[in-house]
Amino acid sequence: MSRSSTNKVKPSKIADLSVVIPVFNEQECLQTMFDRLMPVMDSTKRSYEIIFINDGSKDKSSEILRKLQQKRPKHIRVIEFKRNFGQHMAITAGFENVRGDIVINLDADLQNPPEEIPKLIEKIDAGHDLVSGYREKRHDHFFRKFVSKLSNILRAYVTNIHTRDHGCMLRAYRREIVDQIVACNEYSTFITVLAYNFASNPIDIPVAHESRQEGVSKYTPYKLLQYSLDLFTSFSLAPLRAFTIFGFIISGLSGLLVAYMTLRRIFLGPEAEGLFTLFAILFFLVSVAISGIGLIGDITINHEWIEYHIKKCDVVLPLVAIANPALYVQKPLTVFELDFEANLNIIRHCVKYDKRVIFPSTSEIYGMCEDENFDEEKSNLVLGPINKQRWIYSCSKQLLDRVLFAYGVRENLNYTLFRPFNWVGAKLDNLTAEKEGSARVVTQFLSNILHHQEIHLVNSGKQRRCFTCIDDGISALMKIIENKNDCATQSIFNIGNPDNDFSIKEVAEMIIELVKEFPAYAHFAEKTKIINITGEKHFGKHYQDINFRIPSIKRAKEKLGWEPAVGLKEALRKAIAYHLRHDPDDLIA
């Protein structure tokens, strides 16, 4: 549930550091906190602000905070809540009002010493956008440590975020992360989970932990349980799916019981009144009902979740797709259901709530078009015969393009279609994708080289593609999102690089030569062999290839002011360097 539907203006950045401290009945600790924190902040030699959020305290915390503010009015700000909303809501309120480039989160109870703050700032300066402390030596009683450890395990399972200490609130964030957390505008806000979802370069570091000197912890066992349950129900479908699985298990067991009772009836005749048979049938029917409720709930929640978030957005960019030629042939119905049906649901919500949608189409939509350069509005879209199932992806995307165009005409939907032409670069996938059968051609060939495997060229690798560096692609996408003077409204753009027109064979040879530039891996490349295979052998009999794809980018140049700048060799070199630097060592033989 949203806290508010109003659009808040982001505070300007007028400080280097912002420290956010939630306070709830901490009158015993506040003066000591002030005495220890201020020298630490002064020693950083940076401009700073400290924001205390009084979370409905019933003691003298409010009075003390006002006195502290009077001592250092240029540095201390106080936000007052009339009642207690909880730690995470208090922190979020502080985040909404920060004015610093680096935001630091600190509890008021002094169990996380303020003297640890410089360690966090150092890691932010080193290039990390989220620095989370973990308590190396905890000074809590056994029960508290046990509950906290259990909660960490539960939260890691639910969120799939494996930070070392979910409960330690001593953290530092880049301002961009904080702004994204605030933009979520949720009633149940889980700072740790959201921060890790938004961070691109997080790190955990050990921090000191002290025993509580004054007062008592405000996190009672009940509050810890409530927090974990909220997290479990807000960030996971696991409870619902467990309910569904339980129903299926009971259905299976009760089905076996019904079968057993039926066989006894057939072979042994009636042994007693029909009470046991009745219960067996009853168990079966009830378990079916449980399974059905779980499935319906699962489906409903997924649909409601999508609709809820579309309602909150200004721009929707659906990235739901299966873009893998092998799967077009192996699982055509799955490709259709995801690439067309799932996206159609999103588009309909965009129409319903009058949201702008930027839809990633595909260069494959042109199929076997014979134009020298594919034009977005003039080229014919030529697909192969029905028995070549590889075309189901192109067909699904083409149908969605036509649906968007129709909604634009009939409902004035604000849409933009962009058609990527073979984007290459870092972070598009990783070396594990080769094992999973979903790798892009660059990653596939690189993985072959590093694992002493032959490179297989389908149909001799004579197919030609216009490869586009991911940096150029993102540059074009940002101009589409900006939509200056409505330059992208109800328009279609090819995003490709006609100058990077190479055959797949030429790309394989180029990758081999580029890997030789890295001394530690040169011997892998020198031993790599290139083998020609048929498309039918590699993809199956329902595959059909496309010989060339060359886009016209005249419209993107004129309307967006965009033009690609990165050559293929440079793009490949950057992608290879990234994979060799970031992919796990155990992937490389």
pLDDT of residue 72: 94
Task: Give tens-digit pLDDT for 270-283.
Answer: 655 555 555 555 65
Q: Are 512 and 446 in contact (CB under 8 A)?
A: no
For residue 566, give both structure tokens: 């990165």
Among the ranges given (226-240, 379-393, 467-481), the one the predictor scored with the smallest mean pLDDT: 226-240
Q: Which residues pair with 140 in a beta bridge?
A: none
- DSSP track, 121-190: HHHHHTT-SEEEEEESS--S-HHHHHHHHHHHHHHHHHH----S-TT---EEEEHHHHHHHHHH-BSS--
How do residues 344-381 score in pLDDT, each as one tens digit? Answer: 999 999 999 999 999 999 999 999 999 999 999 999 99
Max mean pLDDT among 259-273, 283-297, 359-373 falls in 359-373
Closest C-alpha among 77, 72, 14, 68 to residue 42: 72
Q: Which residues contact 364 (CB under 8 A, 6 or more apart)?
A: 393, 394, 397, 546
**Which of the four pLDDT bands, split at 50, 70 and 90, describes residue 9?**
very low
Q: Does residue 78 carry a pLDDT above 80?
A: yes
Q: For the segment 321-346, what is each residue's pLDDT rounded down to a tens digit?
A: 877 788 888 889 988 988 999 899 99
Instruction: Quote the pLDDT of residue 225.
Output: 58
Cα dihedral across residues 380, 383, 386, 389: positive or negative: negative
Helix (H) or strand (E) holding 316: strand 315-316
On whether the pTM is more than 0.85, the answer is no
Mean pLDDT of 62-74: 94
Query: What pLDDT shows up at residue 2?
Result: 39
| Low-confidence winner among 119-128, 200-209, 402-411 (lowest mean pLDDT) | 200-209
| Cα 401 from Cα 64, distance rounded (Å) | 62
Closest CA to 535 of 463, 451, 448, 441: 463
**Residue range 530-586, pLDDT digits in tens:** 999 887 777 777 778 888 899 999 999 999 999 999 999 999 999 999 888 876 554
Would you list the DSSP string of 414-458? -EEEEEE--EE-TTS--THHHHHT---HHHHHHHHHHTT-PEEEE
- For residue 300, the model assigns a pLDDT of 46
pLDDT at 290 > cutoff 70: no
The Cα 417–Cα 434 span in angstroms is 29
Give the HSE-up count for residue 347: Cα atoms under 13 Å, Cβ half-sphere.
28
Least confident of 101-105, 332-336, 496-500: 332-336
Q: What is the pLDDT of residue 288?
A: 55
pLDDT above 90 covers what percent of the chain?
48
Strands 130-135 and 202-207: parallel
Instruction: With H, G, I as helix, E, B as strand and everything else as coil, classify residue 267.
Output: helix
Write down the pLDDT at residue 428.
Answer: 81
SS3 category, 533? strand
Residue 436: the pLDDT is: 44
> Distance (Å, rounded) from C-alpha 563 to C-alpha 568?
15
Confidence at residue 322, expressed as pLDDT on a 0 to 100 scale: 79
CB contact at 8 A, 207 and 104:
no
Look over the chain and give the mean of its residue pLDDT values, rounded to a whole number: 82
What percent of the chain stands above pLDDT 70? 76
CA distances 467 to 437, 503, 565, 569, Å, are: 21, 10, 12, 10
Query: Within 13 Å of residue 555, how many CA atoms lie on the same side as its CB?
Result: 23
Ranking 35-49, 93-107, 379-393, 540-554 by mean pLDDT, the lowest is 540-554
**In this predicted structure, what is the pLDDT of residue 212?**
62
Q: Where residue 23 falls among pLDDT bands split at 50, 70, 90?
A: very high
In which band, very low, low, confident or very high, does the pLDDT at 44 lie, cut at 50, 70 and 90?
very high
Higher pLDDT, 77 or 1: 77
For residue 502, give the DSSP letter: E
**What residues have CB less than 8 Å from 445, skipping those under 6 apart?**
455, 507, 508, 511, 512
Confidence at residue 540, expressed as pLDDT on a 0 to 100 scale: 74
What's residue 312's pLDDT?
A: 76
Strand partners, 100: 15
Q: How far apart are CA 550 and CA 464, in angstroms?
A: 9
Q: For residues 531 and 457, is the Cβ–Cβ distance under 8 A?
A: yes
d(CA 560, CA 477): 10
